[in-house]
Amino acid sequence: MKQFNKPVALTNDVKAAVRDRYKLFPELDFGKSGYTVQLDPAFKIVNNQLAYLITVTSPDGVKVNYFYDAKSGLKIKQYTVAPLGTVMEWGDYREVETGIKIPYLEKTSVVGQPIEYKVKSVKVNSGLSDDLFK
């Protein structure tokens, strides 16, 4: 991680929080050993939508609150309960060629500044070289 173009040393807690924040499909880990999942008994309101709140604690102790739209079941918000905890929100889900839905809109904030990302196009299994990801 860099800040003002200089390397920043990260504690193990911060490394775990960052790793958990950027997983593409974190739900695939929820059934693994060491994870605890708790469904809140009451609906929450997220952007005028009823949502389920699920709190997931990973084996390294990082807690993440996930909010899922009560109608569609799609993830619409997450909050990492940790140092550098961040809020992320998703919307404008569209089905891509593999049959999965991808959010074309993501909102977050960095150092208090709101940032909005919009996806222009999605390619799945398009033959990209593994070297591009090193």
pLDDT at 41: 97
Residue type, 41: P
Domain definitions of the chain by residue range: 2-133
Global pTM reads 0.78
> What's the pLDDT score for residue 17?
67
Residue type for position 54:
I
Counting beta carbons within 10 angstroms of the beta carbon of residue 86, is it exposed (0 to 12), middle (13 to 18) or buried (19 or more)? middle
Cβ atoms of 56 and 36 within 8 Å: the answer is: yes
- Give the CATH number of domain 2-133; options: 2.50.20.10, 3.40.50.2300, 1.10.1200.10, 2.70.150.10: 2.50.20.10
- If the chain, 134 residues long, is cut into consecutive pieces of 10 residues, what is the mean pLDDT of each piece? 79 72 82 95 96 93 93 94 79 90 90 89 82 78
How high is the pLDDT of residue 83? 64
